[in-house]
Chain A
Amino acid sequence: MSPAVALRAVPDIPAPEPIASKGPALLRFITCGSVDDGKSTLIGRMLYEAQLVHDDLLDALARDSRKFGTQGDKLDLALLVDGLSAEREQGITIDVAYRYFATPRRSFIVADTPGHDQYTRNMATGASTADLAVILVDARKGVLPQTRRHSFIVSMLGVRHIVVAVNKMDLVGYQQAVFDGIVAQYREMAARLGFDAVTPIPISALEGENVARRSTAMPWYAGPSLFEHLETVEISASAAPGVRFRFPVQWVNRPNLDFRGFSGTVAGGVIRPGDEIAALPSGRPSRVRRIVTQGGDLDEAVAGQAVTLTLDDEIDVSRGDVIVAVGDGLTARKAFAGRLLWMSERSLGNGEEFQLRLASATAAARVSVLGAVDIHSFEPAAADGLGMNEIGLVTVALDRPVALTDYRGDRELGAFILVDRVTGDTVALGLVDAGAASLVRGADAVARRAGGTGPAAAVRRHLAEGLVAGWRAGLIEEASWRLLSGLGMAALTQAVLGDWRLTIAAGLLEALLRPALRFAHRKGWRALEQRRLARAAYDADGSGI
């Protein structure tokens, strides 16, 4: 039997009943982790299981496997994904590959990222748009430095859902003890990274165990297969676009004297004709007249839609400006604090100048390095330059005001790249993070007070606080909700004791009241959180970088 035929004999995925999808119809995820942990093999396996590998490609794979394969006579599924000749020759992934597949329940865009240190920039690129990360760990090796590095980057870029896929279980006799040990090790390491959910799954990418179907080789594992998890996981709103209307202007559409429209993609919120807006940085107000598309004018446009707006007044708006709802509170700034992932082979010196690109804006940017985070220990230390793949805490001074805000609250207006002005290379990706500056300023103050603990220790403390802050806010919200609903229930029970008819009424009330209360409560918290973020950004900025 040819290898291709052998592989095809894998049982089909049981056809799942179509369920009302709770999350997005599309899930974007990445595979990451250390060198050779099996990321590409896993994606090859997933494509295969999703019936995406056509017969002619399977034949080509069988040929390639004989030539470059690492699995003897067997198919090397990684070769489905490692598409560059340099990758196939060396048996490693160099650049990120984007693949597309769908199961009856969801469609997926998956980015296969390289494990090698040297290509961390490509891993970060894949992570920047991901809703979820599958972090692979080789069952024989456990958590490696690169596992930590990737986990940190994924956390920094705002991915909140993690699957820890303990791979190559076939090589450790499918033992539960090995799996449990690695999971404990990972959880301890990730405790400070502020993930919403860490889901461990024992798999063998090579054999397909727990990938598309539940494994019979590991009866001790009762959880879902990887596919089941990816199909049903709910992605929390933190990754969703913000609620405020923000519209970076990409291009001014002026085909003739009678039409002047502003084209762009809505970054957050909703806009309707008649809404009052302001253009940043000028701050000039106007009102939306029309939302123009070729298919006809729209009554409203939401985040993600590419539209053209016309305004009531002839105010001056050009590419790089941001149209916001009046009262947004967003301001244009000439300086900010943030984090950088330095991606160039040449290192970054203090005070160097680059071109910054943020949403549709460009500006000249002078970068001061305050510190660097050691991504193996997660500890920040003083630094005045950055080497390739290092993460730095920086302040950035711009030659003109740009509308921007914290990445945590707005993925679009808080993310930027730095471009080398001579070579044109993309040398860094960055996040606006007001905390980064206070972190270092705070470090100085604390160090002075403590007299000798050194800035590194203080910076570490501040960093850790920053990482758990989001998690803490969630906890308080949950606790206060429990209290509130508990009190409500107590009052109702009291009433019920009096009369059975009241019991029914109370039951109905509880059923109707609870979701309404929950909704209002959540909304209130969100508004508070937004205000806190905005204030924090303002404070940090106001105290003069």
Chain B
Amino acid sequence: MIQLTHLEKLEAEAIHIIRETVATCDNPVMLYSIGKDSAVLLHLALKAFYPGPLPFPVLHVDTTWKFREMIAFRDQRAKELGLDLIVHVNQEGVRAGVNPFVSGSRVHTDVMKTQALRQALDMHKFDAAFGGARRDEEKSRAKERVFSLRTAEHRWDPKSQRPEPWRLYNTRKRPGESFRVFPLSNWTEADVWDYVARENIPVVPLYFAAPRPVVVRDGALIMRDDDRMALRPGEVVETRMVRFRTLGCYPLTGAVESTAATLPEIIAEMRGSRSSERQGRIIDHDGAGSMEQKKQEGYF
């Protein structure tokens, strides 16, 4: 008899969760952040409903500050896979001139990501939103449920989460309430990369090392992706061999120096690394418990 491998078990669990959502919620949507976790999530969702098409749309909350390569990749994948892609931008935020340089990472993230996400979910009346978050990413995420209930105001209450024994997911909710659903809860960063390699899943080239124009700012290597990023006195753009472990808004995402240009090299580098995946994420460090707080406010 076949013995399932660790990855096969994780895959089956994720497919089970995705199907459970579609079977019990009225109007699900998949959050697509264009990163590796989203790529894996999308891949699993396509598997879950084969031979049928994806029975829900895919939502990208665009802060307008994503790497250009990410947007190009998103549009290409949407076309190849025939996705029903919704791109939402918080136009109020754009009109108010919110941006990461002037407003700071905290305000920028709140307005262009958290508020924008809430707008999009309300506008389309989605009652369940898949996200690619993993419990190993951050210690408040380690406490989150697979089906994470949000109030009508999109708030998360970490202290009174529903118990989730076995794989019995309670998908009952009151009008206005919604779920964030995390099929990759039990995956680690290493599992994601192993799976990307095993399944040959396309990912944004920014994950692979290449010579890129970067600026050293506040100790982080920031890639100058367009000329909206004004240089401060003394700053110079230099070309370095870098790659990204996680992708977000380019001014808020630190690159790492690396020569890992292939999947096996990335996997080897990650296993030997002495720093965590989200270290490059500037928004995570805006104060202790900041991820938990952002999540309470409706961030993924």
Contacts and interface: CB of A to CB of B under 8 A. Distances in A.
Interface of A: 25-26, 54-57, 64, 67, 80-86, 88, 94-100, 107, 109, 121-122, 124-125, 128-129, 250-251, 253-256, 259, 261, 263-265, 270, 292-295, 300, 302, 304-306, 308, 319, 343, 355, 357-360, 411-412, 415-417, 419, 421, 423-426, 429
Contacts of A99: 135-136, 142
Interface stretch (B42-50, B204-212, B229-237): B42-50
Given A96-B143, A255-B51, A263-B19, A306 B12 contact: yes
B163 A125 contact: yes
B6 interface: yes
Interface string B21-55: 01100000000000000000000001111111100
Nearest to B5: A25
B48 A263 contact: yes
A417 B186 contact: no
A95 B161 contact: yes
B23 A304 contact: no
B143 A292 contact: no
B276 A56 contact: yes
A56 B275 contact: yes
Q: Which of B8, B142, B173, B174 has the most CB of A within 10 A?
A: B142
Given A98-B135, A124-B165, A416-B168, A250 B275 contact: no
B213 interface: no
A254 B52 CA distance: 7
Given A300-B1, A417-B163, 5 more contacts: A84-B158, A95-B143, A99-B135, A99-B136, A424-B177
B159 A100 contact: no
12 contacts: A56-B275, A57-B276, A99-B135, A100-B186, A302-B2, A304-B4, A304-B9, A306-B15, A417-B165, A423-B174, A424-B173, A424-B174
A100 B292 CA distance: 20
A84 B178 CA distance: 22
Contacts of B5: 25
Contacts of B188: 100
A86 B279 contact: no
Interface in B137-193: 138-143, 149, 158-159, 161-168, 170, 172-174, 177, 185-186, 188
Contacts of B292: 83-85
Interface size classification for chain B: 35 or more
B95 interface: no
Nearest to B199: A295
B6 A98 contact: no
B23 A250 contact: yes
A244 B174 CA distance: 38
A414 B191 CA distance: 31
B274 interface: yes
Contacts, number: 171
Nearest to A68: B288
Interface of B: 1-2, 4-6, 8-9, 11-13, 15-16, 19-20, 22-23, 46-53, 135-136, 138-143, 149, 158-159, 161-168, 170, 172-174, 177, 185-186, 188, 273-276, 279, 288-289, 292-293
Contacts of A308: 50
A37 B138 CA distance: 24
Contacts of A359: 168
Contacts of B289: 84-85, 88
B2 A95 contact: no
Q: Which of B167, B168, B276 has the most CB of A within 10 A?
A: B168
Contacts of A261: 51
A55 B159 contact: no
B143 A83 contact: yes
B4 A95 contact: no
Given A25-B6, A84-B140, A419-B170, A429 B165 contact: yes
A417 B170 contact: yes
Contacts of B288: 64, 67, 85
Contacts of A304: 4, 8-9, 12
B280 to A, nearest CB: 10
A84 B143 CA distance: 8
Given A100-B136, A419-B172, A424-B177, A26 B279 contact: no
A27 B292 CA distance: 29
Contact of B186 (A98, A128, A250, A254): A98
A417 B275 contact: no
Given A55-B275, A415-B168, A97 B6 contact: no
Contacts of A426: 162-164, 170
A247 B13 CA distance: 15
Contacts of B19: 250-251, 263-264, 306
A292 B6 CA distance: 21
A94 B50 contact: no
Nearest to B142: A97
A256 B49 CA distance: 12
A412 B288 CA distance: 40
A357 B164 CA distance: 12
Contacts of A124: 163, 165
A129 B19 CA distance: 20
A81 B50 CA distance: 38
Closest 7 pairs (CB-CB, A-B): A83-B139, A255-B52, A128-B165, A294-B50, A306-B15, A54-B276, A85-B289
A357 B140 CA distance: 28
A275 to B, nearest CB: 14
Contacts of B12: 265, 304-306
B9 A26 contact: yes
Nearest to A126: B165
A424 B170 contact: yes
Contacts of A425: 162
A253 B273 contact: no
Given A97-B142, A263-B48, A250 B20 contact: yes
Q: Which of A100, A256, A411 has the most CB of B within 10 A?
A: A100
A56 B276 CA distance: 7
Q: Which of A88, A253, A412 has the most CB of B within 10 A?
A: A253
Contacts of A85: 288-289, 292-293
Nearest to A84: B158
Contacts of A305: 4, 8, 12
